[in-house]
Each structure stands twice: as C-alpha cells, then as structure tokens.
Structure 1
Amino acid sequence: MTGDETATTIAPTPQPVRIDAALGAERLRLYRANLGSALAGQGLMAAFLVVVLWGQVAQGRLLGWLACLVLALAGRVLAQWPGTPDKPTDPRTMLLRLRSSLWVMGLLWGVTGTLLFPPEGAVYHVFLYLLLAGMAAGTLTLTAFDLFPAMGFCVLALAPLCVRLLGTGSAADAAMAGMVMLFVTFLSLTGLRAQRNLRDTVALRSADALRAETLLRNQARLQQLSSELSAKTEALELTLDSMAQGILSIGADRRTNFYNQRLLQLLDLPPALLAARPSMEDITRYQTEHGHFANDRHLMDDAARSAFSRWRSGDRAEFPPSYTRRTLAGRVLEVKSRYLPGGGVVRTFSDVTPYFDAQQKLADSEAQARKLALVAAHTDNAVTITDAQRRIEWVNEGFTRLTGYRLDEVLGRQASDLLRGPQTDAADIARMLVQLRDQGRTAVELQFQTKGGRPLWIAMEAQAIRDDAGQVLQYVTISRDVSERKAAEHALRAARDEAQRASQAKSEFLSAMSHELRTPMNAILGFAQLLAADPCFPLPARQQGQVREILRAGAHLLELISDVLDLARVEAGKQPVVIEPVAVATLMDDCMALMRPVAQERHIRLEAHAAIPCDCFVAADRTRLKQVLLNLLSNAIKYNHDGGQVLLACEVNSDGDGDGAVVRLSVRDTGPGLSPDQLDRLFNAFDRLGAEAGPVEGAGIGLVLSQRMVALMHGDISVHSQPGAGSTFWVRLPLAPAPYPASHRDQPAELTVPGALSAPTSSTVLYIEDNPVNLLLMEAMLEHEPGVRLITAQDPLLGITLARTERPQLILLDIQLPGIDGFEVLRRLRGAAATRDTPVIAISANAMHSDIQQGLDAGFDDYLTKPLDLTRLRARVRRALRH
C-alpha cells in the first residue's frame, strides 16, 4: 500500500449516495421518535376542535371528520411497520408511506377550512385560523427534518382556508390570509435551515462512521498481513530447518544473519554460539579451539587448502565456490559459497558421506575386482561367469587349460551343453540346475569331456549373483579337475568290493567247513555218547576210557571249530554283542564252578578274590565276557605246572583318561611265564608260541578271539609276565550302575527241566533227514526216551506227507535237504491246517550265529546245531512235547 492510498483510506469523503442513504435512515429514525408527539398533539387538537365547534357545525360533519382523522392517525402508525424478519420493508418504501400518511393528515386538516368552517361567529373563525396555523407550525417544526413533505402538509392544511379568506373580498380576510402565508413561509425558511443542519450533521456522522470503518478495515488488513507474514516466516524457517543441507548467511557486516538447525548438526556447533550473531572469525575461532579442522584438510583440493591456510593466518581471502572437508565426527561435507554483490555470503553444507563412502567402496571394489581377475587368470581352477540364462560371458585361462576351449569359442554357449559327453549323467545335470534355481548355489561332481573328447571328472561350485531386488544377474562357477581322485576312489571301491567278496567267500567257506565237519562229528560224538550212556549194554572200563577220549577229542575239535567261526564273525564285523550290566560276583562264581573240575584234574589250586562288593556290575556282553574269562582260566590251567595256583581277582580303578571307573578282572598263574619275544607275538592268530610241540592241545586263536571280543565291549586286554614267575592277564571294562532289582538280573538263562515231569505217553516225533547215519543216530538217542515214538523220512516231500497223515506232536527237521530245503518244508507245514501249530525244531550243521537267527526268524520253534548233545536234545524234546 502506498502513502497516498494510506492517506485516502484514513480520511475518506462519503459519497452522495451514502449521505442520502444515511439521511433517509435518519429521517426514518426521527419519524419514529416524533410519532408519539405527533399523534398526541393532533389527537388533542382534533378533540379540542370538536368541542369548540360542537353546535356551530353540523354534528355529523364533526364526527365524520373526527373518524377520518382517527383512521389517518392509525394509518400513520401502520406506515412504520418494518415488515417480517424474512421479508423486511425497504427503507425507501417505509419513508414513502410515512410521507403519504403525513399528506393525508394535512388534507384532513385542510378540510376543516371548508366543511367545518362556522357560518357565523368571528370568534370561531379566529379560533379556526389560529388552530390551523398552530397545527401547521407544529407539524412543520416536528417534521422539519423532512422539509418538503412537511411543507406539503402545510399547503394542504392551509390552502383551503386561504382560498376561502381571499374569496370573501374582505380586506381583513385577505390580510389574514397573507399573514398565514407569511407565517408558513417563515416557518419554511426556518425548516430549510434545520434540514441543511440535519444534512450536514448526517454527512459528518457518515464521514465519522466511514472513517471508523476504514480504520477497522485497515487494522484487520494489517493483522491479516502480519499473520500471513508470520506464517510465511515460520514456513520458511521450517523449510530451511527441514533441509538436508546446513545454511549459513553472513551479512555485509560479516556477522551471522541466518542459520538453520541442520547447520548446527553438521558442524557440531552449540545453539548459543549462533544465537549471538557471531562473525565468521568467531565461528572459525570456536572450530579451531575445539579441533574441528583436525582431519579435514587432506580432503580439500589445493585451492581450498590454500584459502584455509590464508584464513587462519589472518588473510580473509574468499574460499573457492565449492570444496570438500571432513568434520571431527567423521562426516564428509561439501561446502558451497555464494558471495552477494553488496557484501556478505550464503554458504551451504551438504553431507556427502554416503556418496563419498560409495565412491570409496566402488574404488575398493574395482581394486578388489582387479585382484580377483588377476587371481582368476592365474589360478589352476576353471572360472566361468555366465548371465542369468547361464550363457557364458567370460572364462579364465584355467578353463581353457582344463577343457581345451578358448573364450571366443564358448561365448554365449552353456557349459553343460558344451562339455556334455556320452558318460555325462543328464539326471545329475537336471538336479544341479534345479538346486541352482531354488537355492542360488550348488556343488556337484559331474563327468564331462574335453574339446578333444577325453573323459573328465569336474567338481563344480556355482553361486548366483543377485541385485538388490533379488533378481539373478550372473552365475559364477569354479571348477577343478578331480579325475585322479575319482580314479583313486574307483580303485578303492574295487579293492573294497574285492575284500568284501573275499570276506564273503571266507564266511561261506567257514560255514561250509563247519557244516561238513559238524555232520560227521554229529555221528562220532552222538554214537560215542550212546556207547558211554547205554544202560542195557554197558562198556567195560577200558572201553569206557576209550570212549571218553573220543568224546574229549571230539569236544576239543568242536571247540576249535566254534573258535574259528567266532574269529571269522569278529573279523567280518558280524559278531553281535549286547552291552548290559553284568553281575561280576555271579560271573566269577559261574566261571569258577566250570573250571574247578579241570583244575582239580591237574591238582591246581583255583581261587577267587574280589576287592569290591558282590553287587558290583560291569558294562559288557555276559556271554562274550564269560567266554573270555573261561579262555583265560583255561590257558592258566593248561599251561601251569601240576600243583600250581590260579587266582581270579577283581578290583575297581579310576580310568586314566578321566572318563569314569573301570572294573579290572585279572587271571594270575604260576606257570613258566613268557619271554619278551613271546609277548610280542602273543595276540597273533594261529601262533602258539612254540607250544605246538608240547602235549597241550590248541590252535592259537583263543587269545586273539578274546582280544577282539573285549574290544567289541569297549574294553581292553593286556598281560604282564616274566619267564619263570608266571603271567597275569587282565581285562578292563567300564563300571556299570546296578540295575533294579539287582537280584533278578544276570541269572543264567539256562533251560531247567523239572525232574518230576516226564514226556506224555504215546508222543509221535517225526525226523526229516536225508543222511542215513544221522537218522540212525537220532533213533538211538531217542530210543530210551519214555513215551516217544520216532518216525523218520529221508525225503522232504515224504516227510510233509507223513506229517499230515501221522499228525506228530513234534517235528525234527534238517535244513539242507535234497529237492527243497528245510525252510520250504517249514513254510508248507505252516500253510497246512493239520500241521500249522505243530512244534518244529531245526536240526542243522549250520552253526553260525546268522544261520541260527535266520532259522528262528523263519518260524522254527527251536534250533539245535550238530553235533547233537544227547542231554540237550532229550531236554528240548521233552519241553516241546509238554507244550
């Protein structure tokens, strides 16, 4: 707003239209204000007129005139009705109604000069003159604010009377008429002056109102402009404070004009410092004192570094338009300066740390890429880079050396198709591609072929390279030649397969040897037992001794066969062991009971000593541990001198490795002892250490088998010996916690046959066996078994028929039969309703553990191995027949 506009607005001149409107409003206000006085005055004057002229003028005229006057007064009241709030009366219309009502009143008063003029009586005439003149004067005085309607009232009220007076021809009446007109003229002039005064007053009042309105409007405008300026200033401050850049404005006086909050954050300046409008020198001094320029100069270019040095030395040279520096907090700032024409400068500070770091990382990445490219170019491994569709983009020299293909020969091709050969497994390639697609990496070994057609085993490791959105950009594959390793693995597998075949052949040989040896041994030991136990034809004492030698030699041979089979199972890793808590005291008692008769024959004192409670348990396989202890005790007795001593001892020691307590079972003898050379060869299979020339029988595999058995039970076996002082063998096994209840564990699971029970009478037993000698032996063994009738069959089909027709209570079945084996015979017996529930016991020379387990799994009720033990055979037959 200019100065002229301000002056015009402060001292306004009201427009005529505005003055006329205000004048009209004032007239309406005065009409309303004078309404009561006008009504009261005219009402009183009318009543007074009626009273004075009553009897001088016809009464009808008086009353009629009075009624008309009352109606006119009422109309004047109604003329001021403002209308409804929804539809107010226009001020000009209301003013016209009021003027009309005034003119009607004037007309009614003018009628009195003609209709109500008394015919006679000068007094009445003078009264009427004075009344009308006073009415005109009063009305003109009260309505002088609206002069022309008031003069109209006077003219209407006095004109008829003046005309009447002038019409009489009387000089007095004419004079009276002139006086009336002069009086009205005088009042009109007075009213004109009053109207001018009213107009001036209204004009002044309008001017004051307009001036007040103008002042209020100007004040509201100023307040609006101030609010807008404050809002814009606040918005500008918020905008500047929310900017990512710091801003510092220095005026021509070199003092701070403006700064934002970001500047404080980036430069680490206190708000109090900037709030005091410091100069650039003050800011620089604060930064220097607080070490803000300690690490930034190495990022500046030469021009910025030179300007900074001159500034610190007092030369206030201008800084370059743009330079970079690092703050004490480690930020990298880009500083830009704009120097203003009138002096001063606006400086912006931008945090470009992410960009700077990204540039640094890019440079480091490029350097790393150059190093990797150098490594890839000189590595022996083949490096391949492909696109997302696995098309080759780059290969190194190692790829060329490995496959024979150069880079220009493989660009755009897929390595899996390029190197595919007749030996390549398509399924392996498909699995590799699926894994690479789903997991983004893979590691496989595939057989390809080189450019020259040479088969080639390659170990490949592929990795997907993805962008930030997870989309595959490239694949990097590193491959190496593993052909030699694959050849070695193939040779190793072939050797292993050959060893397994040899082991299988050895097992089959041992099984066959066992079967072939046990079959004649069955006849030898079986008939020897019959001869020794025949109650009808007892042998003489000499022959009894010979039979005992046969039985002893046969038992020894059978023991050797069993040891050889056990050793074969251990070496083949097929010897089962069941580790469980084994009661040491019970085991020692069993071994002592079995070996005491053997020791007594040599007059050797066999003793036992336990340094631990009798309820101690050891973690072992009871059967195998018992076998080991019996072997050690047997050797201690066999290789001792007559009248010697053997001590079985037990003690608990802590494990040297700190893994817990162990139980040490030792066997000490008073034999000849062992030399160092013999100790070195002690655990070699079939090496009897020179004892083969002596009287003691053996095969040299007992200790080897014991050592392997103890190892299977997670223990160890060792020996201490001196020539001439005897030997001490010991076994160490882990101590086991006592099971609950301890009294019911580790009891010998041996078959007990109550002596009071006997086989039922008339029990038929069927024996199916193709060997006539074995049939004859079985008949002899069961000949004296009470209540047993034995029937035999050499052919398996005949045996099945006899089983269905004879309905035996027990079937003894050989495994190796001509035509169909014992397993097929058993299957047919179980499939027939007549023999489905008949007990079937296998009688076989196949004595390996796997053979026995196979027979029990096939459904045999029991399994007896050849050679048969007479007592055991009869016990098993009795038990089967009882059930």
Structure 2
Amino acid sequence: MWFKKRKPAAAAPGLDVSMHGDTLAKLQALERSVSTYERIFRGSRGYAFLDWDLPNSKMAWNGGFWSHLGYSDADMEFISNPDKFIEYVHPDDQKKLMSNIFAHLRSSGPGEIVFRIRKKKGGHIWAEARVDAERNAKGRVVYMSGIVFDVTKLKQTEQALLISEARHARIIQSSNDGIWEWSSAHGGFHFSNRCWEHLGFTEHDDIVNQGMDRMSAWRKRMHPDDLKEFDHTLQEHVQNRVPFDVEYRIRGKDEHWRWIRARGQMTYDEAGKPTRMSGTNMDVTEIKLAEERVLKAKEVAEEANRAKSDFLSSMSHELRTPLNSILGFAQLCDADKSLLPEQRANIAEIRRAGEHLLQLVGDVLDLAKIESRRMGFSLEPVTPARLLAEAVSSLQSQAEMRGISVTLEPACDESDVDVVADAVRLKQVFLNLLSNAIKYNVDGGSVHVGCARLEEAFLRVTVKDSGRGIAEHLQKQMYQPFNRLGNEASSIEGSGVGLVITKQLVEQMGGLIGFSSKENVGSEFWVDMPVYLGQPIEQFADDRRREDMSAGAIPALEVEGERTILYVEDNPPNQRLMKQFLVRYPNLRLEIAAEPIRGIYLARKLQPDLIVMDINLPGMDGFETLAVLKQDPITEAIPVIALTANALVKDIERGKESGFDYYLTKPLNLSQLVNVFNDLLMQENMQSLNN
C-alpha cells in the first residue's frame, strides 16, 4: 500500500465555535484522521511514507524508516532534499533509480523498484519503493507519493536460494546422475536428459516415445526379469516406506543391456496418500562389468588353485614310487660289504640326495593337503614336554656335528600342562622349528627351548637361536611358499616351505605362531597352543569343526553401559547378520549406513563409540572413508574396524597402515568380533575413568 500526503491547512489555535455545524464536524474528523496517521508513522520503524512535491522540490518523509537506519531529525534536512537524497543510494543503484523515476514521470500508473540505501554507520540495506503519481491538468506530475520499506532479509533469502540452486545444479551436472520425478497433481513422469543419455539417446530421438508416454517407453526397454523386481521394490516403498533402491537392466540405443541403479523417495499428504516421488538414476554398467570380471577371475583363480593342489598331490605320490626304489636299492648296495670305499662314498651321496628329495616331495605333499584342507587332524590332550624332548633328542647328532648346543629349559621338563593338538603334527612343528634353528645357526652357536604358561588359555613354546638372523626387509616374506629369503645360492639345503607348513599346521590346530629376529644376532620363534582344561575327548572334533565354521563358543561381552556401534555396509544380508548377532547384547545400539556418505554423516551426528566398516563400498571405498573420518576433529578419535572379504596379505597390510584399529576378514568370526569389542570399548571405559 502507499499513502499520498497533501499540504495541510494552516493549523488554527482552536476551532471557531461560530462555524457552521457541518464544517465543524468535517474539521474535527480531519483532526482525528491526522492524529491516526501520525500514530501510524511513529510505529512504522521499517517503513517510510513518501510525499514528493516536485514543483517545490521537497520530499516529505513520515514513519520510522530513517531512524531505523540510524539517522536523526537533523539528517532529515538533507534526506528531504531530492538533490541530496540520491547520495544516500548505493553508487551502483543510482543510475537505475534515476532512470526508473524519469520513466515513471513519462508514463502513468504505479511504479516499483528495489535498490540499496546507505545506513548511518556504514553498510547498506535493500529497500523497495512503491509509488504513484498525481498529475495536473496539463499531465505534468506534481506529486509522487508512496511507501519505501526494508526488504533486506527477503533479498538475502532470494540470493541464498539462487546460490543453493546453482550449487545443486553443479552437483547434479558433475555427478552424471539422471533425475526423474513423478507428481500426482500433473500425472506422469519427468525424466532429465541425462537419463536418456545413459542409454545413448537424446531427448529428441523419436524412438524414445514411440507414440507413448516417457514412462511407458522406459518400462518397455527394461529387462522382463528385472521389471518384476522393480515393481515389487516400488510397491514396498509406497506401501511400507521401505527405501527405494534397485538395480536393473535396460536396453540402450545400441540394443546392448545397460545397468541402472535407481533410488528415490516418495512424499505423502496429510491423509497418507502419495503426492510426489523424486529420485536419481546412476549408470552402473561399468561397475557391473567390473564385478563380473572379478568374479570370473576369482573362479579362474580358484580353479587354478585347485588344479595346482591336485597336481602337486598327484605328482608327490607319483614321485615317491621311484624315490623309494632309488633309496631301497641304495640301501642294498650300502649293505654289500664287498664294495670299495670309493663306491661306498658314491652310494652315500645317492642316499643323501635321495633322502633330501624325498623330504622335499613330502613337504610339497603336506602343503598341497593343507591348502586344500584335506589334511586330517586327530585332536587330543598332548603333553608338549614329551614331544619337545623327543624332537631335541632326534636332532642332537645334527647339532653336535657343528658344535651347536641345544638346551631344553627346566620349565619344559617340569611342565605337565597338556595342550589340545594332534601329537604327530605338533611334533612336526617342533622338529621344523628346531631344525631351522640348527640349520641357520653359526658353528658353535646355541639353541634354547623354553615353555611358559600364558594366563589360563595358552602354553607358549619358544625356540631361540644365536644364528645369522633375518634382515628386516625380508621378514614380511617369511611365510611365502618356496621363498628361502636369500639362501637359494647357499650350501644350506631346504625347499622354502617348512615354515609355511608349520604356520598352517599351528593355525589349523587352533594355535598361534610368531617370531622376532635381528640380523647377526639371532631369531626367536614362538608357538601358542590352547591348554587342555578337562573337556571330554569326544568334544574335540566337534569343537574344532565349530571353530572352523566361526560358530564356536562366543566369549562374554565385558562392556558395561550403553554403547553405539555404527555399521557401514551396503550388503543387506551382512546387515541382517550384524543385526541378529547384536540383538543378544541389549546395551549395544546398532546404527546402519548403506553408503559411505551416509556413514560419515551419522558418525558426525551420533559420534558412536565404535565404527565397523566394509572396504568395498559404493562411491567411496573404506580407505577413503576412513581418511575423511580421521581428518575431522569430531570423528578422528572414534575407533574404526575394517570387516571385509579382502583377505590377501597385501590387503591386510594396507588396512593396518591406513589406520584401522583392527582389520577383520570375512566370513565373520563372531568370537573374534566380540574380543575386538571388548578390547576397544573397554579401552574407552578406562579412558573415561581416567578423565
């Protein structure tokens, strides 16, 4: 609205009571009207009422607008001067304002303009002026009256909206995603050009429409098998509010199948009826092709590994037959007393070479059996002290030939602790470790064998030598098959598989193996075996089978108080497994994020006590997601566990170097996961108590 003010009559000191009654009433009404407008002016801080007398070049201002900008009554003398007023307008808007005023003087009807006005203490506000003109008999404007008001907040909101729209447009453009929307008010679907570009079309291709609406044309190109899944997912989303996230195949312009991942969200009115659904299409064809190549490569590798194991097993058996003949006849020749000393020496070389070759064949056969999981174990209570004594005794002569002393510490002789193991395989482990300690020792060196109880669960056996040690840069290659760590050209015999077999045997019996080594000082290998705690013998096979299936006795959760765990995993079956597992722990609250961006958002919002994260995630992998979390002060201290199917040695090493607190591999070992929970969450408890 606007208000035109006219020159008031000269104020009289009082009303003449002798006036005619009608005239008196009109004057009284006018006085009340003026009082009303004056009250309105005083209460209008953000508004200015303008009455510009052009013939007299005077601008009359009413209202609280100028005091709202910090100006006093003394300033109004300049503001009311049309020649001075323009100085209060922002320099960039002065020309526009003057052009608008001249245009309004030439034309009829109301005028509107938005411009900036300077505040008393600096800075500017946005103002909008709405005015109208009154003309004389000659058509010349004599008065321009109206209202000026502050629209700064509206302008800021408008600018923020424009910036936001531009930002979203850039994001959508850079993401290569197509946009689609359905509206109940308009009916039908809207597809952005990018949706059709995914299929190789442009929006002008006639083949897209084929005389039907866009949605029908799109559905006609979808794979029949995937169309059913698409409709089912859509129905679940509309009726049960299940997230709409589906992948399907669709024929492109070249008639080849493309893979599209569609995600969307339905909105509803107050009555619960669907009103609008918006979503995105992502072209995931290359990802799907990559997945197919990986699966195919995995199948080929697994088949090749099976073929290798079968070949090694078969060849080992085939080689044993002629080797047995060679060694048998060599023994017969050795028993012949009529042979000359030179001949006996030759026979001894044949026997020594044959026995070494037989040992190599046996190692290869064992390795093939272990890798194919065809080596049987007979688990039972075993006394390590007895097996160690037998192993030391059998290798004593080999050590004495080089002046190496082998010492079995009293703790081993006196220990009557039994462990759960296969006696034959455990003795093989001890023999391998002792043989290496002697073989790679220095002449006149020493070997010490020790035993120690680790709490209640394990017994540790250590084999320490004073040999040449292992260079630090070679230690990561310790358990690689046929890798002799630089001793290939030495005079020391070996195949490079002994330690690999030892490690596999120990782990498949439920134990652990490790080592420490320093070049030119020596090495110490240790084996931890589970202590026998009185279980019935017949339970061993079942217990071992359950351990192999990662479904053994799950340890107790020692964490007290409520804890929040965020699981970043895009695979629904894995999500369900974690949900069902954590149901048994009411104090653990589980939050799930199917995408890394969502996971980062929830980590910042919830600040969980622990994050469990897959590595192969859509958009960002687990390593990139971890880097973002560690760079954010809000989330950098949250422990993060990797839980992934990437189980190669290089993957595990990369996971540890990237900063994961634990790197766990699938299939999920529930007992291991609870132990990790106890470790990390109990550390948090201790930190809280210390703080």
Please give the range of the TM-score, normalised by the shorter of the 2 chains.
0.3 to 0.5
Kindly indicate which of the two structures has a greater share of residues assigned to helix: 1
Kindly indicate which of the two structures has a greater share of residues assigned to strand: 2
Larger Rg: 1
Give the structure-1-normalised TM-score: 0.36
